[in-house]
Chains A and B, each alone.
Chain A
């Protein structure tokens, strides 16, 4: 049981390049989330997927797109990277049901945009 896995662990991009961050979970969770973590700002929600086939914007969606490929996988795409997107990105998933669900986090992807 690997939990939540993310690839890659590190990435350096030039401004304008594109890339996709991959996330997969093996806990049969319905809901999945993408956050970014910036110094002094905690984690902010980029996009989430309440269930397979649905996605919705979070607090900071501009410059990102997502795909819920199937129940296990939820990818985050940067179409044209900007230095402001330099951050650590975390994927999370949660159990179905009530508002008290625990979110389980992946190890993160550290992205630098030059």
Chain B
């Protein structure tokens, strides 16, 4: 079945460091891909998405490119801030339809001043 694999955390960085969180997927068909972010004590918020191969999603300085050849959707940011500390989830739309999402396990990011 469809699945998402993310790099394990926690990821600990200093402010202004470069961030990469790896995400790879297995899916039938052509899923849409998402990054969601969960700040402490809150629900999930959509960070960015891409709907087809070679699309780049971007938001708040974060970027991810839909790579069909490597089945990847890695999240990057050039200069992280303390306020980026959160849990990041990679997800895809299941081939089962009805916009059902399959999530990765999540990667916790901690940014220190």
Which chain B residue has the least Cβ–Cβ distance from A6?
Answer: B43
Flag whether A90 is at the interface (Cβ < 8 A): yes
A104 to B98, CA, bound (A): 15
List residues of chain B with CB within 8 A of the CB of A94: 99
Interface size class of B (residues with CB under 8 A): 20 to 34
Tell which of B12-20, B76-84, B100-108 binds the partner: B100-108
Contact yes or no, A43 B103, CB < 8 A: yes
List residues of chain A with CB within 8 A of the CB of B32: 99-100
List residues of chain B with CB within 8 A of the CB of A99: 31-32, 93, 97, 99
Interchain pairs with CB closer than 8 A, number: 55
Instruction: Give the total of A residues in contact with B, Cβ under 8 Å.
Output: 26
A33 to B91, CA, bound (A): 15
Out of A42, A48, A102, A105, name the residue touching B43 (CB < 8 Å): A105
List residues of chain A with CB within 8 A of the CB of B106: 42
A102 touching B46 in the complex, CB below 8 Å, given contacts A31-B98, A33-B100, A58-B100:
yes
Flag whether A44 is at the interface (Cβ < 8 A): yes
Binding site for A on B (CB under 8 A): 4, 31-32, 36, 41-46, 49, 51, 89, 93, 97-101, 103-106
What 4 A-B pairs come out closest when comparing CB atoms? A42-B103, A105-B43, A105-B44, A43-B103
- 10 cross-chain CB contacts under 8 A: A42-B89, A45-B101, A56-B98, A94-B99, A99-B32, A102-B46, A103-B101, A105-B36, A107-B43, A108-B42
